[in-house]
């Protein structure tokens, strides 16, 4: 694995992932062919999770790769690079990843909130890394690019629960209307 | 009875999980069916955004789409360009990128994306460029070349970075076209934005890497403290180290002086990159290594596990060829044997086995 110097290249990230506390994938992006199939990817994620979920150690050499990680409540964040990659570069990407998600979730870094904001989470991952190249490593800049101006509700507040309840309200409003018109019809038929 | 209890338990667990994850047990066919909503007018941005998030979620879970279903979903998605909702638009860009390699006739979105990349909304422009380059093939590249060149020198960092990074991805297949963007890349290296500078240096190097003289010039120009980005510095160190190796030069090379000077940079990332590069070079004496080893020794007592890990791993490499050069670090390495991070502890032990004597390992 210690094959001398690393070819000068912008491609530094092999994968990023967010797993839950059972080691299940919530988000995973693979940027090269290290794990070509979903099956291999998920096996890697499970093994990595088993190695890391109890030891809060921040960095591990695993399957010939360098993995840096961080966890909070029921979420685990990972950034994976080659074993020859500068570990501090990988750590800077992990911090940007974690901090931007934390800002988007308004510091509620947990599974429930993450899933409620999945759209923003996908967008943040996309602003962080493009095809294995670090696109933005400043969490404030990532959040700024994700949160779009001139929107009536800030993205962070626009939870799935609110969306669902909004549609719920629309449905119940519609039901009310139907009931009302039925009542009206009965009323008119009685009056006739 | 026991089995029934178990299955009841499992049901309960699934119920809890389902309650915690609205995306749990999504059926591909159901989600793709829902995606037909995209064809309805007027567009409901919230509803369509939620459905599109579900599509992205199942793809992210590794669900593979067939050509026909991907094409159908892709075309439905193009209808969403009619909505000006910013979140929905951004999700559409993601959807385009995810499906661009599976769906057919994806170039249908070219004009919509070109409109967005040259439009007034700065926040759309970078992501639109990246999506556009994912649907652009070799033969189409010339038609967007003019816009790409403009985007590389754009004042908005997100636009410039997006164009530079996309150029690198495209460069894998179309080196001849990318070569013609060298002037724009050169202008972008002078950017005040650290990421733009990093991406521009990466593109410049990629264009010139087969021309050794040009690479030499590149390093001597930027090694005179003109870079702001630590990422760009790390890249420049790697380029310089590669030149030293190719020229079979030793520590008398000006490239070596540059790398050594980076040991005094203010960013730990750059200092470590320099130390790592020096240690990896072939024609170095123990004396050449000394400053790099002292820096690594210092990092061994850092409160940051990543830095301790990086340091001990690099010292471990030094110990293979120059065990004597690492002896000075033995005490620091001994302290790492009990490190909470097991990788660090293991590396410390294996390094000591190469450098120390029995007494230090016993202690």
Tens-place pLDDT, residues B211-242: 999 999 999 999 987 899 999 999 999 999 99
Average of per-residue pLDDT across B277-291: 91
| Binary contact (A5, B242; C-beta < 8 A) | yes
For residue B60, give the nearest of A8, A27, A86 by CB distance: A27
Spell out which residues of chain A touch residue B235, defining contact as CB-CB under 8 Å.
8, 10
Q: Is the pLDDT of residue A125 over 80?
A: yes
Of the given ranges (A66-80, B192-206, B248-262), which has the lowest mean pLDDT?
B248-262
Average of per-residue pLDDT across B56-69: 94
**ipTM for this model:** 0.91
Among residues 37-76 of chain A, which lie with CB inside 8 Å of chain B? 38, 41-42, 55, 57-61, 68
Distance, in Å, from the CA atom of B205 to the CA atom of B234, rounded to the nearest integer, reads 13
Average of per-residue pLDDT across B164-187: 92
Q: Choose between B258 and A163: higher pLDDT.
A: B258
Express each pLDDT in B319-356 by its tens digit. 988 899 999 999 999 999 999 998 999 999 999 998 86
Q: Is the pLDDT of residue B304 over 90?
A: yes
| Binary contact (B86, A86; C-beta < 8 A) | no
Percent of all residues in chain B with a pLDDT value above 70, rounded to a whole number: 92
Q: Which long-range contacts (CB under 8 A, 24 or more apart) does B324-330 make?
A: B324/B286, B324/B355, B325/B286, B325/B289, B325/B290, B325/B293, B326/B293, B326/B351, B326/B354, B326/B355, B327/B355, B327/B356, B328/B293, B328/B294, B328/B297, B329/B293, B329/B296, B329/B297, B329/B300, B329/B355, B330/B355, B330/B356, B330/B360
Closest CA to B360 of B340, B332, B324: B332
Residue B258: how many CA atoms within 13 Å on its side-chain side? 26
Q: Are B227 and B239 in contact (CB under 8 A)?
A: no
Residue B197: how many CA atoms within 13 Å on its side-chain side? 17
pLDDT at A153: 46
Q: Are A49 and A28 in contact (CB under 8 A)?
A: no
pLDDT at A20: 95
pLDDT at A157: 46
| Binary contact (B340, A57; C-beta < 8 A) | yes
Q: Are B178 and B171 in contact (CB under 8 A)?
A: yes
Q: Is the pLDDT of residue B208 over 90?
A: yes
Q: Quick one: tokens of A37?
A: 């199939």
Express each pLDDT in A35-50 by its tens digit. 999 999 999 999 999 9
- Calculate the CA B80 to chain-centre distance: 30
Average pLDDT, chain B: 91
Average of per-residue pLDDT across B139-156: 94
What is the CB neighbour count within 10 angstroms for residue B330? Answer: 18
Q: Quick one: tokens of B275?
A: 């130390």
Q: Is the pLDDT of residue A162 over 60?
A: no
pLDDT at A169: 52
Residue A176 pLDDT grade (very low, low, confident, very high; cuts 50, 70, 90): low
Phi then psi for A152, rounded to 5 degrees?
-65, -40
Q: Are B191 and B160 in contact (CB under 8 A)?
A: yes
Q: Which long-range contacts (CB under 8 A, 24 or more apart) does B213-222 make?
A: B215/B239, B215/B243, B216/B243, B219/B243, B219/B255, B219/B258, B220/B254, B222/B189
Sign of CA pseudo-dihedral B10, B15, B17, B22: positive
Distance, in Å, from the CA atom of B167 to the CA atom of B146, rounded to the nearest integer, reads 13
Express each pLDDT in B234-272 by its tens digit. 999 999 999 999 988 888 899 999 999 999 999 999 999
Distance from CA of A179 to the nearest CA of B (A): 25
Q: Choose between B275 and A5: higher pLDDT.
A: B275
pLDDT at A174: 61
Residue B128 pLDDT grade (very low, low, confident, very high; cuts 50, 70, 90): very high
Residue B175 pLDDT grade (very low, low, confident, very high; cuts 50, 70, 90): confident
Average of per-residue pLDDT across B126-140: 93
- Residue given tokens 């599974």 in the structure block: A111
Secondary structure of residue B118 in the 3-state scheme: coil
Distance from CA of A55 to the nearest CA of B (A): 8
Percent of all residues in chain A with a pLDDT value above 90, rounded to a whole number: 69
Percent of all residues in chain B with a pLDDT value above 90, rounded to a whole number: 78
| Binary contact (B343, A59; C-beta < 8 A) | yes
């Amino acid at each position: 694995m210690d094959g001398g110097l690393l070819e000068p290249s912008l491609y530094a990230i092999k994968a990023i992932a967010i797993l839950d506390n059972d080691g299940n994938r919530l988000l995973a992006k693979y940027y090269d062919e290290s794990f070509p199939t979903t099956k291999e990817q998920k096996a890697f994620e499970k093994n990595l999770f088993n190695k890391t979920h109890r030891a809060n150690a921040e960095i591990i050499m695993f399957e010939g790769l360098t993995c840096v990680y961080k966890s909070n409540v029921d979420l685990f964040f990972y950034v994976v690079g080659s074993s020859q990659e500068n570990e501090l570069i990988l750590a800077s990407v992990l911090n940007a990843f974690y901090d931007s998600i934390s800002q988007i979730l308004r510091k509620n870094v947990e599974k429930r909130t993450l899933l409620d904001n999945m759209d923003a989470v996908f967008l943040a991952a996309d602003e962080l890394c493009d095809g294995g190249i670090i696109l933005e490593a400043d969490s404030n800049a990532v959040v700024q690019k994700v949160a779009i101006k001139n929107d009536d509700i800030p993205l962070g507040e626009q939870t799935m629960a609110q969306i669902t309840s909004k549609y719920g309200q629309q449905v119940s409003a519609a039901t009310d209307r139907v009931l009302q018109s039925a009542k009206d019809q009965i009323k008119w038929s009685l009056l006739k | 009875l026991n089995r029934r209890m178990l299955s009841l338990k499992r049901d309960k667990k699934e119920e809890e999980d389902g309650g915690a994850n609205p995306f749990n047990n999504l059926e591909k066919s159901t989600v793709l069916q829902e995606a037909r909503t995209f064809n309805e007018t007027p567009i409901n941005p919230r509803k369509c955004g939620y459905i599109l998030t579900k599509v992205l979620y199942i793809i992210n879970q590794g669900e593979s789409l067939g050509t026909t279903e991907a094409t159908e979903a892709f075309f439905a998605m193009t209808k969403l360009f009619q909505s000006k909702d910013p979140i929905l638009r951004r999700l559409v860009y993601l959807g385009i990128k995810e499906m661009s390699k599976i769906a057919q006739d994806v170039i249908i979105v070219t004009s919509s994306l070109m409109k967005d990349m040259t439009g007034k909304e700065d926040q759309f422009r970078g992501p639109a460029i990246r999506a556009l380059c994912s649907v652009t093939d070799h033969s189409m590249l010339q038609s967007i070349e003019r816009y790409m060149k403009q985007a590389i020198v754009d004042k908005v960092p997100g636009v410039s970075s997006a164009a530079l990074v996309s150029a690198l991805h495209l460069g894998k297949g179309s080196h001849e076209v990318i070569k013609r963007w060298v002037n724009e890349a050169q202008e972008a290296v002078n950017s005040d934005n650290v990421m733009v500078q990093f991406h521009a240096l990466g593109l410049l190097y990629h264009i010139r890497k087969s021309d050794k003289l040009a690479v030499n010039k590149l390093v001597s120009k930027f090694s005179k403290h003109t870079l702001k980005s630590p990422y760009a510095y790390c890249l420049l160190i790697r380029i310089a180290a590669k030149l030293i190796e190719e020229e079979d030069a030793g520590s008398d090379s000006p490239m070596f002086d540059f790398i050594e000077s980076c040991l005094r940079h203010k960013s730990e990332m750059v200092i470590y990159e320099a130390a790592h590069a020096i240690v990896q070079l072939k024609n170095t004496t123990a004396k050449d290594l000394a400053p790099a080893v002292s820096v690594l020794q210092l990092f061994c007592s850092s409160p940051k596990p990543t830095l301790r890990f990086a340091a001990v791993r690099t010292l471990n490499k030094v110990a293979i060829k120059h065990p004597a050069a690492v002896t000075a670090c033995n005490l620091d390495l001994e302290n790492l044997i009990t490190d909470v991070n097991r990788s660090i502890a293991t590396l410390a032990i294996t390094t000591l086995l190469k450098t120390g004597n029995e007494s230090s390992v016993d202690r």
